[in-house]
Amino acid sequence: MQKKKSSIGWRNENKHPSLSEVFSSVSVPKQKGIWKKLFAFTGPGLLIAVGYMDPGNWATDIAGGSQFGYMLLSVIFISNFFAIILQHLALKLGIVCERDLAQACRDHYPPLISFILWILCEISIAACDLAEIIGSVLALKLLFGIPITWGVLITAIDVLIILFFQSKGFRYIESVVAALIFTILVCFGFEIISSKPEIFPILKGIVPNPEIIKDSHSFYISIGILGATVMPHNLYLHSSIIQTRDYPRTTEGKKMAIKYATIDSTLSLSLAFFINAAILIISAATFHKAGYTEVADIMDAHKLLNPILGSSLSGVFFALALLASGQNSTLTGTLAGQIVMEGFINIKFKPWIRRLITRLIAIVPAMIVSIVYGEKGTTELLIISQIILSIQLSFAIIPLVNFTGDSEKMGPFVNGTILKISAWGITIIILLLNLFLLYNTFLGRR
């Protein structure tokens, strides 16, 4: 006999808050001051933005800029728009239903379906973590000449870093992430000034060009940019960390929380758009302009920056931004791993155990590949990790759009007609494009 659903539309009642050690730990002022409330909600969006500027994005942005100049800027813009909509749905789910996406899947789907979704999500988080490790390892090699193998071991230290800062409060983690994002912004600000891009071609590139679809190669890279931009683990992460805010769990309180959390998310993702666009712009203004149209590798890009721009600092800032990006993403990735395991299978480990498990799953293949194949192998591993993320993406988006469009679960906060159509339209587009990407990847057709 099928178990009767609860009155709020779930198979099971949710009894455990997400990230219980920091749940409702960040105070929100009771008074009506807009700026104070906005500041209180600022932070989760920055952690989410990290996933949209991670090392997995770098290769596709570099390849797009070197081969097609500024033309694919429109693809980054559209991908960012998709991300803003999806992250809005994720934060709304967490605020309204007081569940993260993993808990929502567990409380909605039968145990077998929930278990399969958990396995797929764990694989994607490991793949994402793998990309961040590789990015950090390559940056350590570029900056300090540290061998790939030793670099892999050094990246394990972030497990201790996140434990240290979380023990002091969630705001400390957000501050570390904000500082690293600022470092990336400064580095790319220097690179853009040095590369002297052309303003009008940049503005023209933001407008979608039919040539993107007509040219099979540019279309293929465009799908890669989309796949590397929208990260599945961010949807789980955002629906959880928004609950660290101590807002009133009432209809008015939730309405206020959605408003300010959406502003935080949108502004933070706008920063991510700037950084992704900056990578492509720098690639277009340097490599494409100089006739290097086949640059698609982070290491090759680093080698060419100094001689083309004529500044030894160009390569340093490039590598420093890569290191900040990799370390930032590993912090948020390990948090997402904890959220997913606790949410899907309702098992709570001590934070250091959960993060150690997540990191070991990613470090082991990275270590093996770095020992056997060296630098070239780690670059190929980065590409494989992005393919895995593309496969998982739809399995995160479809439940999210479904839950937030369910009036029984969301009540007065259910998605409106326009938002429903937009969300399902984005879902279908991402699903079809990722299927096309996988088809071409495995059959070798571009």
Per-position DSSP letters for 332-385, written without gaps between them: HHHHHHHHHHHHHH-----HHHHHHHHHHHHHHHHHHHHHHHHHHHHHHHHHHH
* Per-position pLDDT tens, the chain of length 446: 344 444 477 877 777 888 888 888 888 988 778 889 999 999 999 999 887 777 767 777 888 888 888 999 999 999 899 999 999 999 999 999 999 999 999 999 999 999 999 888 887 777 777 777 777 888 888 888 888 778 777 776 766 666 676 667 788 888 888 888 888 888 888 888 888 888 898 999 999 888 888 777 788 788 777 766 677 888 999 999 999 999 999 999 999 999 999 999 999 999 989 988 988 998 888 888 888 777 766 777 777 777 777 667 777 888 888 888 877 777 777 788 888 888 898 777 766 676 677 667 666 766 676 666 555 555 566 666 666 776 777 888 999 999 999 999 999 999 999 999 999 999 998 888 877 777 766 665 54
pLDDT of residue 63: 82
The CA-atom distances, in angstroms, between 285 and each of 71, 220, 323 are 12, 21, 23
Number of residues in the chain: 446
How much is the pLDDT for 45?
92
* This prediction's pTM: 0.88
The secondary structure of residue 288, as a DSSP letter, is I
Q: Which of 364, 351, 358, 357 is nearest to 162 (CA)?
A: 351
What pLDDT, on a 0 to 100 scale, did the predictor assign at position 108? 92
- The answer to whether the beta carbons of residues 75 and 64 sit under 8 Å apart is yes
Cα 414 versus chain centre, distance? 25
- The third-level CATH classification (topology) of the domain covering 26-391 is Hydantoin permease (1.10.4160)
Give the ranges where 230-311 is alpha helix by DSSP (H). 232-241, 251-283, 298-309
